[in-house]
Amino acid sequence: MLKGKTQWLGLAHTKRKNVLHGIICYFILLFAYTGGSKLIDVDPLYTSLRNTPLYFGKPLALILSWGLPALEIATALSLCFSKFRYTGLISAGILIFVFIMYTGWIVIFPMQQPCSCGGILAEMSWKQHFLFNLFSEALALSGIYLLSPSKKLSR
Amino acid sequence: MKFKRMFLPILTFMFAISLAIAGNANFNNEMDQQQYDYADVNGTPYQIPALDCNEGESQCRARIVENGPSYDVYDDEALSIPVEGDGSVTDVF
């Protein structure tokens, strides 16, 4: 009986580990791709930031157009190494939250929606982008919960 | 085991970067000029899908907000090459 219960708990533990690894690979793919795309061609992001209803000035738009992709790449890299995975997941959660605020603002105030031309993710409408960000945030929170010290899952 | 734990994430990272390079490499600026135009919104280039303004010598104009003002349209982000056509106003919202 005890052996069966231990086996079942072990299986649940393995499943949780697999889910966690799936979430980590998802965010590595997401942030490395989007960060890399933005760094290769900075102009569309700069133009998009200048055209948002948030009225970014030129200096701030310039800083964000370089800083944001760099942060995304750093987050993807930190997720690759077990020592920094927890930090990477928290960083992913914060980044996605900021994107939710940004896309949410544009969805709620559609008076001047910046053109989201270019890139695979930009094939979506702003509403779809907003829902995608919500889904990603749920994954990030799940990953943080699974990797939290109390869960004792392997990092 | 430690090597396996790191191998898959790093492989995923390299795959994503390769995807980004393959999907976004733009060696020809003319491609951008063909795909997008730019509306001159108070001196700031506003990227819009490329317009078809028919034949003509008048500058094309675009409206980016419903019932809003129309703006001159250019072929490049530097707002130096005007898009010429019949001078019609195109809604791009």
- CB < 8 Å to B13, chain A: 28, 32, 76-77, 80
- What are the chain B neighbours of A37 within 8 Å (beta carbons)? 20, 23-24
As a whole number of angstroms, the distance between CA B30 and CA A93 comes to: 38
Taking one residue from A and the other from B, the number of pairs with CB-CB distance under 8 angstroms is: 86
Bridge partners, residue B40, by sequence: B45
Residue in B23, B44, B48 closest to A120 by CB: B23
Asked if the Cβ–Cβ distance from B16 to A29 is below 8 Å, we say yes
- H or E segment to which residue B30 belongs: helix B29-35
Closest listed residue to residue A122, CA positions, set A32, A34, A51: A34
The SS3 call for residue B13 is helix
- pLDDT-based confidence at residue A6 (cuts at 50, 70, 90): low
d(CA B24, CA B86): 34
Distance (Å) from the alpha carbon of A115 to chain B's nearest alpha carbon: 6
Q: Residue A77: is its pLDDT beyond 80?
A: yes
Rounded to an integer, the average pLDDT of B76-84 is 82
Residue B86 per-residue DSSP state = B
Over residues A71-75, mean pLDDT: 95
Cα–Cα distance for residue pair B37/A50, rounded to 1 Å: 16
What is the mean predicted confidence (pLDDT) over B34-57? Answer: 80
Across the range A135-154, mean pLDDT stands at 83
What is the per-residue DSSP string for chain A? -HHHHHHHHHHHHHHHHHHHHHHHHHHHHHHHHHHHHHHH--HHHHHHHHTSTT---HHHHHHHHHHHHHHHHHHHHHHHSGGGHHHHHHHHHHHHHHHHHHHHHHHH-GGGPPP--SSSGGGS-HHHHHHHHHHHHHHHHHHHHHHSGGG----
Closest CA to A49 of B24, B59, B46: B46
Q: How far apart are CA A86 and CA A96, in angstroms?
A: 15
Q: How far apart are the C-alpha atoms of A67 and B12, rounded to whole Å?
A: 22
What local confidence, expressed as pLDDT, does residue A37 receive?
87
| Closest residue to A37, CB basis, from B13, B24, B47 | B24
* Residue B90 host element (H or E): strand B89-91
Stated as kind and residue range, the H or E segment containing B53 is none
Question: By CA distance, what is A82's nearest residue in B?
Answer: B6
Using CA coordinates, name the residue in chain B closest to A74. Answer: B13
Answer for the pair A22, B9: CB distance below 8 angstroms, yes or no: no
Terminal-residue alpha carbon distance, chain A = 30
Q: What is the pLDDT of residues A30-66, one digit of tens each?
A: 999 999 988 887 777 777 777 666 666 778 888 888 9
Gap between the Cα atoms of B47 and A48, Å rounded: 8
Nearest residue in chain B measured CA to CA from A110: B65
